[in-house]
Structure 1
Amino acid sequence: MEQTLIFALIVGVVIGIGFIVPSFRPYLKPMPFVAFLLGISSGFPLTLLLATMTFWLSKVGIEKSTIGFAIGLTTPYTLKFLWAPLVDKLPLPILTKLFGQRRAWLFLIQAFLFVAIWQLGSSDPASDLGRFALWAIVVAFLSATQDIVIDAYRIEILSEAELPHGTAMNQFGYRTGNLLAGAGTIFLASTEGAGLGWATAYGITAFCVLPGAIGALFAGQGRYVPHKALQQGASIGAWLGDTIVNPFREFLTRHGAFLILGFVLIYKIGDAMGQTMLAPMIVELGFSDTEYVAVNKFVGFAALIAGSALGAPFIAWLGMGRALFVSGLMMMLSNFLFSMLALAGHSTPMLALAVGTENFTSGIGLTVFVTYLSGLSSLAYTATQFALLSSFAAVGRTWLSAPSGYLAEGLGWVAFWAFTVVVAIPGMVLLWIMWRKGFVVETVRQPSTTDD
């Protein structure tokens, strides 16, 4: 009940500001709201595999080192660019004619994802970690594929003017999905909450696929560019060339493409390492399930929404380059508060301050970052190119942050969180180099052509 009131209050404030401040008015348009619904469906599976799963593993006594490498189960997020070309251009029998390319893939993947999450929840990591890992990989693959579709569809239904605000609303929805899958699932499963157990809790959370499906039914097909070679009855070779080769060639031949990919790879590595170990630290510091849920439910969620709402105006006020740099510094420095939490020990006010600050800065930073990536994706190859960029970002979140468990064990919590600040510095340096070379300003989507 309290969560609903907070949600309604924040939405009311945003709507009120939207009537007064011009930079907030696009939040009131229909397509940004659809982007919010799509964000819910996109955000919840990854949280089940990261925060909720690591919390579950911690509660059943799995070692921190094992939990750290369990993040490698999300490898499909780092490899999704490999099958993104097929999702981008391959039509599905019957479904594509009924719903269009993007919605056909979305509805099919969501049906499979719903079943896989039920199976993951019914697994028992304490007695059969192998089965648990198998279904985690299946969920990760389906979720990564859903993200390919949703990211492309979001870009295609938003106009140029709506892109920053639609991206912010998508992040708003994404974090709403995070909350439902994180604090919501833990509350449903915990004996201190609803006491339903993990199987039922995961099963209920699986219904978070519905908001995205409903939004897609409302939004229509979007500005999808059909496959030119397929339309003209070209050869299989020409079809494969336009589907698989051209999206990568178009992006990689741009000036500064590899510098951009390097930046995307390491920009959020410090934040990713910290978030991997947050749940284990919360458990080790002696916080109860209800304390952890309450802080995320009230402070964390409110801070995320406020930060996400400021993301689009942040870009308008500062410009893309400054917005990336300032938000990156804010996200990096916010991790110092978790070092202070580790020093303070079991302190609920300190936990609330650290979680609130981190969520606020992440709300701004992620909106700015995803808007930048969205602007780099050509409408001719939306799904493939955004999948390439987001896959590189996922490498930093998964494999580069996988040793975080060993680092936490070796350094201790205070030094570990300080290390997450230091490891974020190379990303900021690379951003400064890109900014000086003029690569950051390339945020306008490329023409929607299907040449070649």
Structure 2
Amino acid sequence: MRLANYFAVFSNRRIAAAMFLGFASGLPLALTGSTLQAWLSDAGLDVKTIGWFTLVGQPYTWKFLWAPLIDRFPMPFLGRRRGWMVLTQLLLALAIAGMGGLNPQQHLPTFAVLALLVAFFSSTQDVVIDAYRTELVHHEERGAAAAVNVFGYRMAMLTSGALALILADGFLSWQQTYWAMAGLMAVMVVVSFLAPEPTVAVRPPLTLEEAVIEPLREFFSRRGALILLALVVAYKLGDAFAGSLSTKFLLDMGYSKSLIGQANKVFGMIATIFGGFAGAVLMVRLGLYRSLLWFGLAQALTNLGYWLIATTPAPGKELLFMAIGLENLAGGMGTTASVALLMALCNVRFTATQYALLSALAAFGRVYVGPASGYIVDTFGWAQFFVISVLVALPGVALVWWMRERIRALDHDPAA
């Protein structure tokens, strides 16, 4: 197969829609997270109040609870998913603009409610976009769709994170910065109007009970369902484990904060994006099973770069960039494969509900490994911690091998 054939999967409207909607999905995140904290700090709010504001992100954790409503009740315009996308994007633009119209010092309760609404509408948009992307792309395009979605998402986080901070630092006021972000969110409505409609016609659940119960019944009726769920949880666990305390580790190794920022946030992000696209191209050749297997092994083994830093006297800058580059490259490839797996596991009748549940399980490690990591470092030290992170990653790779026939079937029959 010629090299051009590997890249051809990126050259269609479906993949373009996945990229721009990835941007729409990522744009609101920092506006209720790091950027919001910067605004509240500039406004003179105390650290305890700012700490309470971190709770506005809770809808992202619980979005699977209302995902069945998205499956059950399609909008009466623009098809089953795009109508919901337009609605949530309009509501997001209004809520973000509403935050920009308030002074948090003077209208703190109303400001907090609007921030919570932004997180709620954003998490709902995530449910819809994940479902739409899963139903839109062909099975051979899943890797490409996952890669461009991650790329769009990260570009949006830079826009509402780094760019918003730059704008608010002398160019615009905080209120004007949030209005600018609201304007960008409104532009995403045009993207949803222009996005292609999925070609597969699906009957939505006829009752709310069917929308809630049937996705679980359908999934657990499959052969090996519990093992597939274990794979979803375990596949990125070692990656999350190694990254949970990476900044603390690098500071302990004597690297400066500015160097860590350059290596981790800039170089690491570039490596992750490159790894995502490389993974998508390789998936065209390898298929889902071999991609999950080889990328999973790469994720595990590249954690040893941090072990090398921990065991090297006076590790230099070159070793830092090598370790971060390889780990993020493999992590980007693994993310592409794992998102493609989640897409393949969804039944198109219940995509919103099943994807929301599966993605919540996939995020389990990222959310909950931190406390355990701290105790392991305290007991065994940094070098042994990264060896343990490799061992933690291996069960996920073993589950891929164990379920190889089921995963190969997913390449040809979604939700097989």
- Flag whether TM exceeds 0.5 (same fold): yes
**Where in structure 2 are the equivalents of 1:245-394 lying within 5 Å?**
245-272=213-240, 275=243, 277=245, 286-288=256-258, 299-337=267-305, 340=309, 352-394=321-363
Cα distance in 2 for residues equivalent to 1:357 and 1:61 = 40
For residue 165 of structure 1, the aligned residue among 130, 139, 144 is 144
Measured against aligned partners, the alpha-carbon deviations of 1:232-266 in whole angstroms (never above 9, x if no partner) come to xxxxxxx2233222122111111111221122223
Please state whether the residue corresponding to 1:223 is helix, strand or coil.
Answer: coil
CA contact (8 A) 1:380 1:447 kept: no
Give the C-alpha shift of residue 106 in structure 1: 0.9
Q: TM-score scaled by structure 2?
A: 0.77
Q: Which of 161, 176, 201 in structure 1 is aligned with 2:155?
A: 176
Whole-Å separation in 2 of the counterparts to 1:356 and 1:205: 31
C-alpha separation in 2, matches of 1:335 and 1:298: 19
Q: 1:12-411 maps to which residues of 2 (within 5 A)?
A: 20-46=3-29, 74-92=57-75, 96-97=76-77, 99-117=78-96, 137-189=116-168, 201=177, 204-209=180-185, 212-223=188-199, 225-227=201-203, 230=206, 239-272=207-240, 275=243, 277=245, 286-288=256-258, 299-337=267-305, 340=309, 352-398=321-367, 400-401=368-369, 403=371, 407=374, 411=377
Q: Contact 1:378–1:446 at 8 Å: present in 2 too? A: no
Q: 1:47 to 1:268 in 2, by over 3 A?
A: farther
Equivalent positions of 1:404-443 (< 5 A) are 407=374, 411=377, 415=381, 419=385, 422-423=388-389, 425-438=391-404, 439-443=406-410
Alignment partner, residue 13 of structure 1? none
Q: Deviations over 1:364-419 (max 9, x none)?
A: 11111111111111122221211121121133322x14537x828x947x946863
Runs of 5+ unmatched residues, structure 1: 1-17, 231-238
AA of the residue aligned to 1:443? L
Closer, same or farther: CA 76–219 of 1 in aligned 2, 3 Å: same
What are the Cα deviations for residues 261-312 of structure 1, in whole angstroms up to 9, with x where unaligned?
Answer: 1222233234335555556778996534xx6775567534432332122112
Contact 2:86-2:193 at 8 Å conserved across structures:
no
Distance 1:129 1:411 in 2: 40
SS in 1 for 2:83: helix
State the AA in 1 paired with 2:133: R
Once the 2 structures are TM-superposed, how far is the Cα of residue 87 of structure 1 from its aligned partner?
0.8
Does the 8 Å CA contact 2:300/2:394 hold for their aligned counterparts? no
1:30 Cα deviation (Å)? 2.0
TM-score scaled by length of structure 1? 0.72
Q: Distance in 1 between matches of 2:117 and 2:390?
A: 31
- Judge conservation of contact 1:271–1:420 (CA < 8 Å) in 2: no
Q: 1:49 to 1:261 in 2, by over 3 A?
A: farther
Residue 441 of structure 1 aligns to a residue whose secondary structure is: helix
How big is each residue's C-alpha offset from its partner over 1:109-133, in whole Å with a ceiling of 9 and x where there is no partner? 1233334456778999999999998
For residue 213 of structure 1, what is the amino acid of its counterpart? Answer: V
Q: Distance in 1 between matches of 2:200 and 2:181?
A: 30
Identify the residue that residue 5 of structure 1 maps to in structure 2: none
How far 1:52 moved relative to its partner?
6.1
What is the one-letter code of the residue matched to 1:323? S
Give the deviation of 1:210 after TM superposition: 5.0
SS of alignment partner, residue 362 of structure 2: helix
Q: Which moved more, 1:119-128 or 1:426-435?
A: 119-128
In 2, Cα distance between the equivalents of 1:127 and 1:442? 58
Cα distance change, pair 300–428 in 1 and its aligned pair in 2 (3 A): same
Higher alpha-carbon deviation: 18-27 or 273-282? 273-282
For residues 49-84 of structure 1, the C-alpha deviation after alignment (integer angstroms, 9 at most, x for no partner) is 667678999999999xx98x9987644334322211
Show structure 2 runs of 5+ residues with no match: none
Q: Is the 8 A contact 1:41 1:210 kept in 2?
A: no
Number of residue pairs matched by the alignment: 409
Give the letter aligned to residue 171 of structure 1.
V
Deviations 1:312-355 (A, max 9, x none): 23223333233213222333444454563898999766654454
User: Compared with structure 1, are the counterparts of its residues 292 and 432 closer, same or farther at alpha carbon in structure 2 (3 Å cutoff)?
Assistant: closer
- Alpha carbons 1:333, 1:421 under 8 Å: kept: no
Contact 2:67–2:356 (CA<8 Å) still a contact in 1? yes
